[in-house]
Structure 1
Amino acid sequence: MKRRADECGGPLDAPPDDGAEEAANDVEWRRELWAAARCAGILLALLLLVDWGSGRVTPWRSALWLTLTGLLFVLLYPARVSAGRNWLASRQLVRERRVRTDLLVSVRCLDGISPRLLLRDALGGRVEIEPEVLVRNPQLWSLLDAGARKAAAGGSLLCGTTALRRIALRVDRETAHAVFKASGLE
């Protein structure tokens, strides 16, 4: 990771020192990882079963099916989203991307088959996450929202307050729904 130093010699793009008690992770990530592994494993089992049933099992075909299911696993591998005071990170299979939430310059909603939220900071950091991760993890949302409010107050957040407001409404709606469901008032 390339780091830039300020006048005191400290790295600017490293997350600020925040206690471990303030960090939050996506609570559903492990379940999504196992779902990706199950999908790949079931496909491998089905492909080998069809080959075995037709009498075409060979080592090279088995290697082909293993490669194909490995590729499927890589495609389905979920990003692990975590956040702390003034930072948000998304760890892919090979790479981690971070943004400083207190230095955000833009937040954009990318619509498509899978909606995405694109966050950019003043240091050039860029993270793309699913808004659903924030909706189902209120702690992640709270940390992102606190940093975004600092960025807006500091004048660095130039565009994206509407996207953040929409996510805030969804988080509030889902939280209220969960409270009503838990209390039996649904």
Structure 2
Amino acid sequence: MAKASDVSRGNFIRYNGEIMQVIELEHRTPGNLRAFYQMKMRNVKNGKLAENRFRPDETVDIVRVEVKEMMYSYRDGENLVCMDNETYDQVYIPEVAFGEGIQFLKEGATVKVSFDDTNTPILVELPASVELLVTYTEPGVKGDTATKTLKPATLETGATISVPLFVNEGELIRVNTLTGEYMERVK
């Protein structure tokens, strides 16, 4: 057990029986009251946010987390199978752990998987951006680069995003996996 003053942003703690990741941490000392730590945490299983105040000497259960780089292999029902790049072991990870960016993930992509102390996958970090092929979009017309108008485009993973008018079918584009936005064309 550690004290609340030992916790830092990004740590994983056990709070109310659930594993939470500390997103924001602020030490506050209001006027004539005692100091406290205000923590904003995200539940790694369902993504819900929670906030709580901790006294500096209050005990907190910090969870040891091991991070491994793994390669996404294929989908198996409600799970995604990832392979350890060093031992070639395959791990079944629930698709909920991948978050919203799962729609941009294609086979062979490298992801960072966080395992708790019982060797259970708890969180998957996708690459910041991915390069995907545009499989369908309306054709662009010469001179369409003058405005910032967007049109829908379907990508090779089946995801649909908004792209500028000059992007055509068959082009390779870079997509931000966190926001799902078009970044640029890949040459």
More helix by share: 1
Is the TM value for this pair above 0.5? no
TM-score normalised according to structure 1 size: 0.24
Structure of greater relative contact order (alpha carbons < 8 Å, 6+ residues apart): 1
More strand by share: 2
TM-score normalised according to structure 2 size: 0.24
